[in-house]
Every structure is written in C-alpha cells, then in structure tokens.
Structure 1
Amino acid sequence: MTEIQNPILPGFNPDPSIVRVAEDYYIATSTFEWYPGVQIHHSRDLVHWQLVTRPLDRAAQLDMRGDPDSGGVWAPCLTWADDRFWLIYTDMKRRDGAWKDSHNYLVTAPTIEGPWSDPVYLNSSGFDPSLFHDEDGRKWLLNMIWDHNQTGGDRFGGIVCQEYSVGEKRLVGEVRNIYRGTDHKLTEGPHLYRRDGWYYLLTAEGGTGYEHAVTMARSRDLFGPYETDPAKHILTAKDAPEAELQRAGHADIVQTQTGEVYMVHLCSRPLAETRGAPVQERYHIHTDDSRRSPLGRETAIQKLVWPEGEFPRLAHGGCVPAARVEAPNMPAYPVTPVPALRTFEDGLPPEFQWLRNPHRDRLFSLTARPGALRLFGRESPGSQFEHALVARRQEHIAFAAETEIDVAPGDYQHFAGLISWYGRFKFHYLAVTADADGARALTIYSCPADWPDARVEIPVEPIPLPASGPIKLGCDIDGARLTFRFSTGGDWQSLGVTLDQSAISDEAGNGPGNNFTGAFVGMCAHDTSGRGRPADFLSFRYEAK
C-alpha cells in the first residue's frame, strides 16, 4: 500500500483550500505579508506536490505596504465552476485589538496560470471567506463575522452567508448568520458542501494554537438550522500532546475521481527539544512547557470515510491526525525536486518571495548586474513598507543555507547579508557592514522575542573583513539551534555563538494565535540613510541535513 507522508506541504503553508479539476488537484494556502500573494501547489496523486503559481502578483490585486506582521493574505478559498477558477482572499490591514480591518476580494482565471482578473471587492465584515457554488448555479459567500462588542475574548460572531451576483459583481440580498459554532468557540474557516440532500458546513474552532479543531454541522436547508456532528470534532490534536502533528485544524475536503474522500488541514510540528525540556540558549526566553514550531503551520492530508447520509470520519479512526495515511488508488505522479543551489541568471527562483511591496523594482533587480540578485538597501528590518528582503521557507528541522555577497558598505547605516526571519521582532541576521571608520566588518543582529519584549542584541564583536571582494555567509540550523559561519576565500570560520532558532516561530513571544507565518531564510539589504545603496548576491544554497 502506498502511503502519503505528512505534511504534504512542509514549512509555512497554512489554511489549505483544495479543489479537483478532472485529474488535477490544487491547494491554495495563505501567504500573509509575503509577496506575491496566495501560494498554489499542484498534484495528480495527492502524494507529490509542486508549486505552480502565486496569482496575486500586481498592485491592482494586492498592495500590503503597511500591513502588520501576520497580516496580509489570510485563508484563501480556491474553487472551480463555470469553466473558471474562483479565488477568494482576505487582505488583513489591522488584526490587533477590538477591531479588525479585513477586506475580502474575488479574482478569477480560465487556467491556474492565469491570466487572473483584477479583484472584485466583496465585504469587510470578517475573515476566512469561501465561495459555495450550489447545484442550482447560485453562488454564496461565507465568512466568519467579527463582533467587536463581545468582551469575553471570543469576538467570532458566527458564520454568515450572502449571495454573490456574477452579473452585478457584488454581494446581494440578506446577510444571514447560519451557524454560531460550539462551546469550543472561535468558529471560523467555513467551507460548504452539498451531499446526499444535506448541506455540510465544515468549520475550524478553538483558535489556531494547540486547541485547534475541525467541526462539522449539517442542515437540509442552506440557511439552517445546522445540527453539529454528535462527535463534535472530526479532527483535533488538542487532547493528544504526544501526536507528531499538532495544532490540527482549518480544513477542506475533496473527492477523487475514483470516489475516495480526503481532507487537507493545517498542522505544526513542534521541536522535540521544546516539549518541556529547557534548551541551552543565550537569551533564556523559554518557559519549560513551551512548544515551538519554526516551520510554522504546514499542510497535511487525511483520508476520510463518508457513508451516505452520515457525517465523515477519519479512515484510521478517532480524531487525531496521522503522520502517514493511505494514498488514493491513482498512478504515481512524481515531481522534480527543487535544486539545492540557486543562481539568478534565469530570474528569481520560484520558491523565493519578498515582503509586502508590489513594486519589486524598488527592492531588487535581476538585470543591474547580470547573473546576480541586486537588493537595494531600503528601510530598516522593522519596516512595514519598503523592506528589501528576499527569502524562502524553512522546510526542514535541520538544514544549511549559504549565500555569496558582494557589497561595499560605506558606513554602518548600510548593511546586508544572510537572515533567518520570522517577522520584524524575531530574526537572526549575519550582516556585512562597516565600522565607525568605514572599514568592512561582519556582525550579528539578533532579535529573538516578540514586541513589546523585542530588543536587538549584537552577540559578537564585529569581525574585520577584507576591503573588497565577495564574502560567503552560511548558517546551520538543527532544531532549536542556529550557528553562523563565513568565508573570505578559504575555509569556513564559525562566529562562535549559538542562537535560539526556536524563537523564530509562531509560539515565541506572544504565542500561537497571535503569530501565523513561519521561519524563512534568505538575503536582505538595508540602508537606513535613505540612499538605497545596493548589495549583490551571487548565489543561494538551501540543503536539508
């Protein structure tokens, strides 16, 4: 029996929405503040997946300058109807406090590669929107509604439903609250299915931390009332701290061409050394019971059994997600692995993204120096507007990353290098800069905690570098430990300090439920003088250990 190894989309790939078109399967996942927006993978066997597109790639569709960390694109929904793909997404402009500014949009395309349309604005009443195509051809938008008047910590006001008019390109008719969830609260992530004469409503509950769960309800009528599954949760790891996959929730269901049923869902894999055992670290920001997942929220898949007229169940029994599940009865469809070594002669490799800004020429160029990626030093690492950082997801618990940089900083306000990044207040940065006399030097800037505890540490004395010529920068990550190294042409030299990579995670600082992305590793340049001085990167290597 062929098995699927979870997660199927390792590294930061949360909030999966899955759709089948004939023999092709597509999963859309959240990208938050990373540009271009929405990540879509393709498969033909549910085992092997390959990134095929990020459709929100121009300012008319998405401009996230000013969006907060873990804001931006939340919970896309990808569907197929009327010979078109329909993609719904949220651009979260404000996510903290009593109010949220969550603007929901629709784009369409005839093929997954596009061209994708300019967006249609839908509403801003809540987040996690999805589009349901009913059997009679009518279309309905669902989203959770945000109730800022609630004071008990649960401002999730239920799942609302409103008709979408294709001809008018807007929502029409009454807004109806069709389901308020269970006592597990925080009801979100709705997806609606029509089956055996029932409307089945799938939701996520419990928040996106370690209490996360998938709940289903059903009704004979679109507008309810909906009865909750007697089992309550189809999927959750909240009562199974020993499970390999944790934080399981926010799901979507697909039926194969052979009639088998699968559910994709988000999950995380906390580091073994953060499950109750203190970690040797410089900054001492752990609590003994913390669990930390630098890879962020990933996408996994489970096989379901769904007898006629009944609620679905996990094929392996119970409600705890399995790390390995039975693959569908379909031919294998392997994909080409991503090369470890990347150069820039043919453009930016597809696994790389940047932050917020739709105007990429403000941040980098692939033609200014042929064969190199030139980053223009813009605002500081704390910027929510113009931040020249190009990076890829961490996809493995242990890996090595290397880059070769050619930069001549004239003063200490210009710095560039290799970075392990979560957000504006969680990063480890090996930077080439200049000392007070203008001589090139190598240093580390480390910020291992969330706001308001954020502070930038410099844990090593600056290291003098040759006045000119490329420098190789490297990092080695093994679970919760990160070490940096460099080379000026000879052997690699260690910087002699171990940093806490577990701080580059959802759980560090404010904890899961407040941070939603995952660790990236990549290249960056900063020039806080405002002069936009560049740094050239000649190659990048990412290799699992």
Structure 2
Amino acid sequence: MKIQNPVLPGFNSDPSMIRVDDTYYIATSTFEWFPGVRIHASQDLVHWNLVTNVLDRVELLDMKGNPSSGGIWAPDLSYHDGKFWLIYTDVKITDGSFKDMKNYLTTAEKIDGPWSDPIFVNGVGFDASLFHDENGKKYLVQQTWDHREYRHPFNGITLTEFDVKTMQLMPATARTIWEGTPVKLVEGPHIYQINGQYYLFAAEGGTIFTHQEVVARSNNLDANSFQTEPDGPFLTNFDTPSTYLQKQGHGSLVNTPGGEWYYASLTARPWNHATESATDPRGWSTLGRETSIQKVEWDAQGWPRVVGGHGGTTFVDAPKDAIETKAPTDHSQHDEFTENHLDLNWNTLRVPFTDKMGSVGQGSLQLIGQGSLANPYDLSLIARRWQAFYFDATTKVKFTPYSYQAMAGLTNYYNHSHWSWIFITKNDAGQSVIEVAENKGGLRNGQYTSYLQDAAIVIPENTEYVWFKSQNRKTYYTYQYSFDGENWFDTGVKLDAAILSDDYVVQEYGGFFTGAYIGLAAVDYAGYHSTATFDFFDYQELGDVQVAPDQYTFAASEERQFD
C-alpha cells in the first residue's frame, strides 16, 4: 500500500497523531467551527475515518463572539495511564498584540468519550502539548506569547511540570527550554523520549509558504538545554516551490509496532491562475491546511530525516505491518436530514446547533433566520469543508421572505468577511427573487456586492421549492438554480475561488487558518425569525483527489498544477 498525501484533504490542520495498540488517531484544529477537535482513525496510515468530534458541548467549548480563526488552535492528543488526554487552546483574539488564550485539559477512557469536564491549565501560550516522561512526571510544553512591542511575540518554548494529584500546573517549575532558530515564530512543540534522549519537534516560519519543522534534542529538560538538528530543517517546502505539497511543518511523530517512524504535518496544495507567476504569488490554498504523512528514518548521529528529502513526497510507503482499513473512496455526502442530529461532517460557527438555530429530522432541516453571514454571535448556518477542488453541491429549499432583510440559500464560506451565496429574498416590488451576492476584501468586514440587483431572478408564483447548485471547478465556481429539480439555469455569475483561500485572507486579516466551506444558511436580521426548510443536501466530489499511485494525473503528481 501507498500513503497518498494529503491523507486528510480539506481543512484538517495541526495534526496530533498517536498510536494506541494497532490503531492510529489524528486530532486536528477546528478554530471557530463547532464541534471542536476532529478525530480520525486508521490502522494502515493510508485510509482514515472520521470517528468523533471531541468538544461537542458548551461545557467543553463556548466560542460565542470569538473572532474568525480564533477558537481551537493545535490540540494535543496523547494516551497514557489507560486513558486519552487532550490539551486544547481557545484563542479569543487574533489581531493585535494579544491573544488572550485559555488552555484546557479533558480526558476520556475511550476515544469517542465521554470526555471529562475541562480543567483550566493556563494562558501562557498556544499550541500546548502534554509530555508524559518515562520517570512518571508530566509536563506542559507550549509556545510562549509575549505582547511587548520590543520583544518578538513568539518567545520560545516553555516547559512546566504538571501535578497529576491536583491536576494543575506547578508555575514555579516553568522554564524556557528552547528559543528556536533565527527563522523565529517557534510554535507547535512536541517532546518525544527516544533512546534515552529528549527530542523536541517544533514549527517555525509561520503557517505560510515559509513554514518549516525543526528538531532539537537534549539529555535533560533543563532551561535552554536543547541543541538544534544540524543540516536542517527537518521538513519544509520553502525551497521546493514546485512540489505538489506546500507549507509542510507543524505536526507530530509516531512509531509503528514494527519500529518504523512516520511524521504527520499540516500541508497545503496551492494553485495559480493562468495569468500569475508560478512562484509569486506561490498560489491559493482554497482547501486550507490539510494533513500529510511522511516516512522518517534516523541518521548515524541519531537525528530524524524525512525519507525523500525535507520537501516530502506525495506518495509514501505504508508501514510493513499495516492493517488495511476500510474507508470511503472520497468524501461525498448526501443528507436527507432523517436523523434528529447533524452528521459528523456538519459544523456550525462558534456554538452548537440548538433550537435557536432551527431543527433537524424527519426528512428536513429547518433554519430560523438570525444575523447576517458576518455575525459572530447569532448565525443560523451549517456547513461542511471543501475536500476536493472539483465538486457539485445541491440543495432544495422552501422559503417565504417578507422583505430584502430575510434571506435563505446555499453558501460558499471562508469567514465573516469572505463568502458568497445564492439565496431567496424579496425585492422592492414585493416579489420573491433569487439573488447572488459576495462579500470580499477591502474593508474590515469585507465589501458586499449584489450581482443581480434589479435583474434578480423572479420566482414564479405558486412555486413551493427552489433548487440551488454550486459547481466548484478549482479556480472558480458558479451558481445555478431550478424550479423543478430537473431543468437548471445558470445565474451568469462566475466567482474567483481564490477569495476563499488562506492566502487571500491573510492579506487583509490576522486569522487565516481554516479553509473554504459549503453550507446552508438562513438570515433575518430584522429579528422576525423567518424560517427556511431544506429537504436535502448533496455534495459530490468529481474524482480529482483519489488517484492510484500507478495512475498519476497531474493533480496527484509530485508537481504543482498551474491552471
């Protein structure tokens, strides 16, 4: 078998990978999307299944009002003392000199819970991980935040002993064990105890195209005791601009039962418009930061090296002792809303799906209109990740708006300031109409554009349902509509997909860590709670991601695709 990267396509970043017996688990960041922390499982490192979302209740996570790309940063999953331990960070500020983060700990005997009520740990810095020393001690390892304008904000890696009796940190034991390299922006630390030495893996360079993973080691955990790996970095694509995988870095190490080693890291697959340079801009990562896995070997001096070079490869040999895992061939989804709960693939923003947003079950989803798609407090939206460059998404909606302030439809969404949608609303003549609108950069909360305006499509009288479709074609996407589900009409609006990418958003906003979503939404900012009924949602990938190693297409080769 071959591992084909990325193993977790679409927004699945900052992977924390562990092995418990013969099963591997990966926990990934979720930022402002609820529930928090996705867990995937595999027994071969090739095929992965989404098995649970950990932070699925308000007691564990309440992000109401959090900024876009705040919330859950870089969770750390570990297994020790017969149970799973999860450290997670809730970041309350993304722009400016402060982050105001809170680190929490929750535990469970089984991966699917129940997970314990959270224990507040500290707010020293984000990307915290829990190290279980062979001598029985436990330590919190974390990036350290410094708000002072005359210091670099990423102020080294701090180690603090954790008292398992009180389940609290011992602040007097805190010390900086490594300050990083001149690349700066040191974060995402994990410590491993291997052959009698402590190995520290950490990310640097920022989670953009300068990203990298660096390794340091020490015989002890004293202050400033770690020495950096020579001939590094361990993993980066900064100097491999043409490779299919980019931005690799932040991640974690695991060994197999047979003694092989693998490293899971975030990655991205940018593309370029035909009119752009292949290197500047390096590209647009509309699928966000994904997860890749590289094989690791150890050199004669005991340093880890990525097999194939520090740029990594798209296809990687699976473990010799891999147990083949059954998993879907792609991430297509068809939902007729028959269950009284949302599918694992659905997310809401900041808070769980409640009666205030609507209801689900018995063949329909009801969304009660609340705030606009720019609202970080009250928003009726459910959405799922883009997990392929080419897909179609379709829905069927019934909605009777009373004015232009009431809207419901299908949205492609990145954050509060970067999104578009096709929706039903009412024009000034009192007619129900179809409009297409986009919100994109230029202002703090984006610049809103109505594309059809006075030419909005009038819905025929006595029409009960309208069907909407989004056709996504890597560099662009379009919206279609139908009044019978069979005869489709194009709106004539062609939108640039780059606007829904990390790389576009970073130009204007400090939080750029998620990826594009497709979803369903209802808005009634006048406060009259207009309700939309969705009969189904269908997301069908068009086959560009899953390609056998002996059947290379350009989209799955070692070279980037420049459209």
CA shift for structure 1 position 232: 2.6
1:20 is matched with 19
1:163 is matched with 161
Letter in structure 2 aligned against 1:231 = D
CA shift for structure 1 position 411: 1.3
- The 5 A counterparts of 1:143-162 are 143-151=142-150, 154-162=152-160
Pair 1:189-2:188 in alignment: yes
Letter in structure 2 aligned against 1:500 = D
1:471 is matched with 466
Pair 1:538-2:535 in alignment: yes
CA shift for structure 1 position 342: 1.7
Could you report, residue by residue, the CA deviation over 1:392-440 in whole angstroms, capped at 9, with x for unpaired residues? 1001111111111111111111101000000011111101111123321
1:36 is matched with 35
CA shift for structure 1 position 309: 5.6
Letter in structure 1 aligned against 2:289 = R
Pair 1:355-2:361 in alignment: no
Letter in structure 1 aligned against 2:512 = N
2:266 is matched with 266
Match of 2:500 among 504, 520, 527: 504
Provide the aligned C-alpha RMSD in A. Answer: 1.7
2:550 is matched with none
Cα pair distance change 1:236/1:375, threshold 3 Å: same
**Partners of 1:167 and 1:353 in 2: how far apart?**
36
Could you report, residue by residue, the CA deviation over 1:254-284 in whole angstroms, capped at 9, with x for unpaired residues? 0011111000000100014378359xxxxxx
Pair 1:525-2:519 in alignment: no
Secondary structure, aligned partner of 1:420: strand
Match of 1:480 among 475, 487, 500: 475
Secondary structure, aligned partner of 1:111: coil
Secondary structure, aligned partner of 1:362: coil
**Partners of 2:384 and 2:352 in 1: how far apart?**
17
Does the 8 Å CA contact 1:296/1:518 hold for their aligned counterparts?
A: yes
Secondary structure, aligned partner of 1:507: helix
2:62 is matched with 63
Match of 2:302 among 307, 310, 326: 310
CA shift for structure 1 position 358: 3.2
Which consecutive segments of 4 or more residues in structure 1 shift more than 6 A? none
- The 5 A counterparts of 1:254-293 are 254-273=254-273, 276-277=276-277, 289=281, 291-293=283-285
Does the 8 Å CA contact 1:249/1:266 hold for their aligned counterparts?
A: yes
**Partners of 1:111 and 1:185 in 2: how far apart?**
38
Does the 8 Å CA contact 1:59/1:359 hold for their aligned counterparts?
A: no
Letter in structure 1 aligned against 2:478 = T
**Partners of 2:480 and 2:386 in 1: how far apart?**
18
Could you report, residue by residue, the CA deviation over 1:284-311 in whole angstroms, capped at 9, with x for unpaired residues? xxx9735111100000000000257611
1:281 is matched with none
1:81 is matched with 80
Does the 8 Å CA contact 2:68/2:511 hold for their aligned counterparts?
A: no
Does the 8 Å CA contact 1:275/1:291 hold for their aligned counterparts?
A: no
Pair 1:301-2:282 in alignment: no
2:396 is matched with 404
1:345 is matched with 338
The TM-score normalised by the length of structure 2 is: 0.92
Letter in structure 2 aligned against 1:273 = H
Does the 8 Å CA contact 1:409/1:415 hold for their aligned counterparts?
A: yes
**Partners of 1:451 and 1:102 in 2: how far apart?**
26
**Partners of 2:377 and 2:247 in 1: how far apart?**
31
1:210 is matched with 209
**Partners of 1:534 and 1:525 in 2: how far apart?**
7
- The 5 A counterparts of 1:122-141 are 122-141=121-140
Work out the percentage of aligned pairs sharing the same amino acid: 40
**Partners of 1:118 and 1:409 in 2: how far apart?**
42
Does the 8 Å CA contact 1:208/1:513 hold for their aligned counterparts?
A: no
Letter in structure 2 aligned against 1:485 = Q
**Partners of 2:372 and 2:262 in 1: how far apart?**
44
Match of 1:327 among 294, 312, 318: 318
Does the 8 Å CA contact 2:70/2:511 hold for their aligned counterparts?
A: no
Unpaired runs of 5+ residues, structure 2, are 543-563
**Partners of 2:35 and 2:264 in 1: how far apart?**
23
Cα pair distance change 1:274/1:43, threshold 3 Å: farther
Could you report, residue by residue, the CA deviation over 1:159-210 in whole angstroms, capped at 9, with x for unpaired residues? 0010111211211142111110001100000000001111000000000000
Letter in structure 1 aligned against 2:130 = L
- The 5 A counterparts of 1:109-120 are 109-120=108-119
Secondary structure, aligned partner of 2:273: helix
- The 5 A counterparts of 1:408-447 are 408-447=400-439
Secondary structure, aligned partner of 1:503: helix
CA shift for structure 1 position 125: 1.1
Pair 1:374-2:366 in alignment: yes
**Partners of 1:56 and 1:113 in 2: how far apart?**
11
1:253 is matched with 253
**Partners of 1:487 and 1:543 in 2: how far apart?**
18
Letter in structure 1 aligned against 2:334 = L
**Partners of 2:174 and 2:59 in 1: how far apart?**
28
2:549 is matched with none
